[in-house]
Structure 1
Amino acid sequence: MTTMFRIAPAVFFPILCLLPAFAQPQESPWVQGLHSRARLISGGPDGDRQLAGIEIVLDSGFKTYWRTPGESGLPPRFDWSGSENVSSAEILWPAPTRQEDAGGIAYVYGRQIVLPVRVTPADPGKPVRLALSVDYGVCKDICIPAHADLTATLSADGPHRAALDKALAQVPRPQPLGAKAPLSIATLEPANPQGKPGILVTVRAPDGTRPTLFAEGPENWYLSTSLPDDANRFTVTVEEKPKDAAGSVPVRLTLVSGEQAVETEVSLDGERTPR
């Protein structure tokens, strides 16, 4: 015998009214661009913050750029101003890949990238709604600017936590200069490559690996980085800088070996001596 259950309209109507509260999107729909698509994803609580992510998937053979693109390229640009109940949104950057071709040296991500975002709510007791306007480059033989407008309401369950944890594991760990770790920036020395100011950077890396170094200066500075020699030494060259540059200049060194990556903050003083 089949038993039928009926819900009285007076009971059913309040349930329907509650459904939107539980059905708020925890990810944005994919926004399709030329040779790419992008969306926002939710990862749940992260201490007193919320974890979210920007996911970009590229067609085969295409790339997009790190926060510092290298000799040329289009670094991503983010505008969170349309968000609700957001005090700050901090983007965390997984280590990129160095790529050299006819266009020069570029620092890139290929195929798929998840950029974790640590979101601090203005009011922890209220929902967080992200609204992101993002511009990024999509490149193969030529570079094409891409744009996406994305929205998502963050949730407590964080359905994409595994993907975000994987991306967080690829974010370089802060490390002081001279740390005695297997992967570390060991020493700095002044250098003068081709008559330009520079730094000779000696690193430690696990045996059998070939590390990669990325160097970043302030806005409007461009620092190139050589491949390592047999002693795991890199030459960092100041290729471009503002004409009126003076005083101490912060430099961020990111060292990558396989799945490991560390980040060390150093500086060039007024005499362009590294410290």
Structure 2
Amino acid sequence: MAGQKSSLRLIAAGGGPPQGFYHAGIEIRLDPGALTYWRMPGGAGVPPIFSFEGSVNAAAIAVSYPAPMRIDEDGTEAFGYRGSVTFPLHVTPKDAARPVLLAVTLSYAVCARICLPAKAEARLTLDPALEASAASEGATAIAAAEAEVPLRLTPQQRDAKVAIDRDKTASLPTWRLSTNGDVEDLFAEAPRGWYFETRKLSRPGEFLIVAVEKPHGDGEAPVPVILTLKSERQSYEFSVDLDAASTP
């Protein structure tokens, strides 16, 4: 379905649900120069909103997000995608012997010189009788998108990969994150009212995390933050509690 500066379609890898779910995806293609946003859009923009109302024989539908890029929008940092993006879906049927009618309504924003709200609908039948083909266009696109989805780390895996230390000399609550991996960028997601900036340092694998906004009358308790580290080989994400009290 085509809209303002973008088009949307549903794709599938084909075949039945051998792992208990179908591999599908929502593909957005953007006009040259246009962008759309990640689940945490940065300093501007709005995240996509997915609705699967109208789907038939679907017990559960899980959406994944490929790691975003950092985009400069006239001095404001946005997190999102250019060119195209495919959001992988895992669609679990209620009855694996029957087809699933997958219906999606997606509300999102498309920005070029100006930002425009977009809304698109699409439907696709996932049939267990169809044979899967790893070389099909849908299977190839979905596999590529799933490879860009960050791997979720357990607390033990997180502690083995990264070190996060409070910078006691900074005027704002600030942490230094260090990792041995080849990390391109770092993104932080926090509860409503909080905003954490992330900055790449000159030394490879090192970043600053700075709490630049917090809710009025709050800020003393540890803040649950999701950190996403983007890497060309394997991105990953994890949860961590950051104590944003004014004095460490």
Instruction: Please give the secondary structure, in 2, of the residue aligned with 1:99.
Output: strand
Deviation, structure 1 residue 231? 5.2
CA contact (8 A) 2:37 2:47 kept: yes
The equivalent of 1:188 in structure 2 is 164
Root mean square deviation of aligned Cα: 2.4
Instruction: Please give the secondary structure, in 2, of the residue aligned with 1:166.
Output: helix
1:168 aligns with 2:141: no
CA contact (8 A) 1:190 1:273 kept: no
Distance 2:241 2:225 in 1: 5
Relative distance call for 1:262 and 1:138 in structure 2 (3 A) is same
Distance 1:67 1:85 in 2: 27
Out of 219, 223, 239, the position equivalent to 2:196 is: 223
Deviations 1:168-214 (CA, angstroms, capped at 9, x unpaired): 111111232232xxxx4x211123686332322112234xxx62111
CA contact (8 A) 1:252 1:265 kept: yes
Gaps of 5+ in 2: none
TM-score (norm 2): 0.85
TM-score (norm 1): 0.77
Deviations 1:114-165 (CA, angstroms, capped at 9, x unpaired): 1101112223232211111101111122211111011111133355111101
Segment drifting more, 261-270 vs 79-88: 261-270
Relative distance call for 1:111 and 1:270 in structure 2 (3 A) is closer
Distance 1:109 1:38 in 2: 14
1:125 aligns with 2:97: yes
CA contact (8 A) 1:61 1:140 kept: yes
Deviations 1:13-32 (CA, angstroms, capped at 9, x unpaired): xxxxxxxxxxxxxxxxxx11
Relative distance call for 1:239 and 1:35 in structure 2 (3 A) is same
Instruction: Please give the secondary structure, in 2, of the residue aligned with 1:195.
Output: coil
The equivalent of 2:69 in structure 1 is 97
Deviations 1:18-49 (CA, angstroms, capped at 9, x unpaired): xxxxxxxxxxxxx1101100011112425011
Gaps of 5+ in 1: 1-30
Distance 2:205 2:76 in 1: 22
Deviations 1:213-245 (CA, angstroms, capped at 9, x unpaired): 111112443221112232532111222333354
Q: Tell me the percent identity.
A: 37
Distance 1:73 1:270 in 2: 25
The equivalent of 1:204 in structure 2 is 180
Deviation, structure 1 residue 79? 0.9
Distance 2:97 2:221 in 1: 45
CA contact (8 A) 2:56 2:100 kept: yes
